[in-house]
Amino acid sequence: MRAKTISSPFGGQARTRALLALRLLRDSYPRELARLLESPLSNVQKALASLELDGLVVSRSVGRTHLYQLNPRYFAADARLAYLARLSEPDEDLKERAGAVRRRPRCGGTPL
């Protein structure tokens, strides 16, 4: 079930959902988040860019990919994590999809 909120506490639904996904995955890249959130890549990229400007997330380059994570140095990091945990409670579908994300490279020649 997707959490249905009247307002988006972090400035927009894409921003809020990206934060929820990053809380569940720890770190991720935009294309993976777009697949997970079933949202257009451009929306996720814009949301991540604005969240990074606001200091809520940080990114680092891994090759040609930008890997995003929640900013551990954010002044209210503990309160933000607790709030995101509460927001993600009713969204079982997102939790299931995040749990199914493969977190390691696939060996060549093995079936999916």
Q: For residues 29 and 66, is the Cβ–Cβ distance under 8 A?
A: yes
pLDDT, tens digit, for every residue of 32-60?
999 999 999 999 999 999 999 999 999 99
Domain 13-94 class? Answer: mainly alpha
Which residue from 87, 95, 84 is spatially nearest to 3, judged by alpha carbons? 87
pLDDT at 95 (0 to 100): 81
AA identity, residue 40:
P
Bridge-partner residues for 67, per DSSP? 60
Please give the mean pLDDT across all residues of the chain: 85
Considering only 11-15, 41-45, 69-73, 108-112, which range has the smallest mean pLDDT?
108-112
pLDDT at 106 (0 to 100): 54
Which residue from 13, 7, 30, 19 is spatially nearest to 85, judged by alpha carbons? 19
Q: For residues 34 and 41, is the Cβ–Cβ distance under 8 A?
A: yes
